[in-house]
Structure 1
Amino acid sequence: MNSTIVLHQVSKSFGNKNVLNDISISVGSGQIFGLIGPSGSGKTTLVKIIVGMDLPSSGQVHVLNTPVPNLNLLQKIGYMAQADALYNDLSGLENLTFFASLYKLNKDVQKKRIAYAANLVNLTPHLTKKVQNYSGGMKRRLSLAVALIHDPQILILDEPTVGIDPELRKSIWAEITRLKKEGKTILITTHVMDEAEKCDQLAMVREGEIISSGSPFELKDHYQIHSLEEVFLKAGGDKDENNRIS
């Protein structure tokens, strides 16, 4: 399996505060890779470094064998931030059209991709409404549609299903699984353990460090525990040990 995202000994500090410490991960094509951990554990900072929105204090980041940051990579990455980056005074359709234009899609492809993305997140009936009139959940859904609009090779989703109802969440995960089968790389952050179970590989993050990693089955088998939530608690207690599972 080719590695599309590789981090080697990445650390990040803001002033005297160390946010990430010696992070090394490798994410392969056709893989759903989950970063799980509580709020404030460093997941969002790590994602921003992978996308190129922030620079590590030390260490190396490569995406598609290219050092990050690199503007050309943005054409191949779909990024959904934890905070919705939308234009509130524009309609949902105008937002999707604007972001599609950034990726240099021709008119016919734009139309098809907008229809696909809006339908996936169940926003088609609401596209003419201004985003300022959307609920929080609708904004999250539109942000996901934006991330998918250009059919990216890599999808990076920071807490994508927060505020989304269970039925739509199921539909979104079905699409994520389909994209994986197409060979896309999906990196997702979550603190929802049933979503973590759907990932091929996991890295458990606490206080800026990876405290354990492996597939959901490997993690539960290693700790002889039946739930990932218990694994996370156990791994945190064994933080000084080498908890990476080969």
Structure 2
Amino acid sequence: MTSTIVMKGISKQFGKKVVLNEIDLTVESGQIYGLIGPSGSGKTTLVKLIVGMDRPSTGEVHVLGTAVPNLKLLQEIGYMAQADALYADLTGAENLSFFASLFKLKKDVKKKRIAYAADLVDLSSHLHKKVQNYSGGMKRRLSLAVALIQDPEVLVLDEPTVGIDPELRRSIWTEISRLKKTGKTIIVTTHVMDEAEKCDQLAMIRDGKILTSGAPQQLKQQYGIVNLEDVFLQAGGKIK
């Protein structure tokens, strides 16, 4: 198996505050890799380092064999942030067209990718509306569509299903599983344990450290516990 993402000795400080502390992480190609942990645990900082939006204080990050940050590498990475980075005064279609134009897609490919992404997140009938008139859930769905627009090799999703109804959440996870089967590598941050169960591998993070990592079933067997929530608590020393 090829390693798509390799992080070695990663630490990150903001002033005197240590946000990540000596993180080692390897993600193989064709995996759904889940980062789980509470708010403030360091998950978002970690994915920003993978995307290249920030640099580590110490350590190295490589994605697809290339040191991060790297501008050309962004052509191969789709990123959905926790905060929706959309143009509110443009329509949904105009947002998708703008972001697609950043990836130098041919006209016919661009049209197909916009239609695919909009259909996946159930926004096809709302693309003519300005984003300022979208609900919070619709903005999250549009952000996911933007992350998928250039058919990236690596997909980084930071809390992708927050504010999305259960039916659509299920369809999104069905598509994530399909993308994995095509060889894509997918990083998902979540605090929802049933989503964690859908991942091939997990890293449980608290206070900037990886408490434990492995496949969901492997972790449950290792700790002799039937659910991942209790694995997380025991790994963090919260229960014995």
TM-score, with length taken from structure 2: 0.99
**Counterparts of 1:67-106 in structure 2 under 5 Å?**
67-106=67-106
Structure 1 residue 24, shift from structure 2 partner: 0.5
1:243 matched residue in structure 2? none
Matched, 1:216 2:213: no
> Which amino acid is 2:114 matched to?
I
What is the CA–CA distance in structure 2 between the aligned matches of 1:133 and 1:24, rounded to whole Å? 42
Q: CA deviation at 1:106?
A: 1.1
**Mapping of residues 31-42 of structure 1, within 5 Å:** 31-42=31-42
1:173 paired residue number: 173
Shift of 1:232: 0.3
Q: For residue 162 of structure 1, what is the aligned residue in structure 2?
A: 162
Question: Over residues 5-32 of structure 1, what are the superposed CA-to-partner deviations in whole Å (9 max), with x where a residue is unaligned?
Answer: 0000100000000000000010011100
Partners of 1:71 and 1:84 lie apart in 2 by: 21
- Secondary structure of 2:236's aligned partner: helix
Q: CA deviation at 1:238?
A: 7.6
Question: What's 1:198 paired with?
Answer: 198
Structure 1 distance, partners of 2:107, 2:128, is: 19
Matched residue type, 1:103 = F
CA RMSD of the aligned region, Å?
0.9
Q: Which amino acid aligns with 1:130?
A: K
Alpha-carbon displacement from aligned partner over 1:38-75 (angstroms, at most 9, x marks no partner): 00000000000110001100001000010000000000
Partner of 1:61: 61
CA deviation digits over 1:149-186, x for unaligned, max 9? 00000000000000000000000000000000000000
Structure 2: runs of 5+ lacking an equivalent = none
Cα distance between partner residues in 1 of 2:50 and 2:108: 31
Distance 1:162 1:175 in 2: 17
Which runs of structure 2 are paired with 1:228-239 in the superposition (5 Å)?
Answer: 228-237=228-237
Runs of 4+ deviating beyond 2 Å: none
Residue 127 of structure 1 aligns with an amino acid whose one-letter code is L
Q: Which residue of 1 aligns with 2:45?
A: 45
Distance in 1 between residues matched to 2:10 and 2:164, nearest whole Å: 32
1:11-26 aligned at under 5 Å gives the runs: 11-26=11-26
- TM score, norm. by length of structure 1: 0.96
- 1:110 and 2:110 equivalent? yes
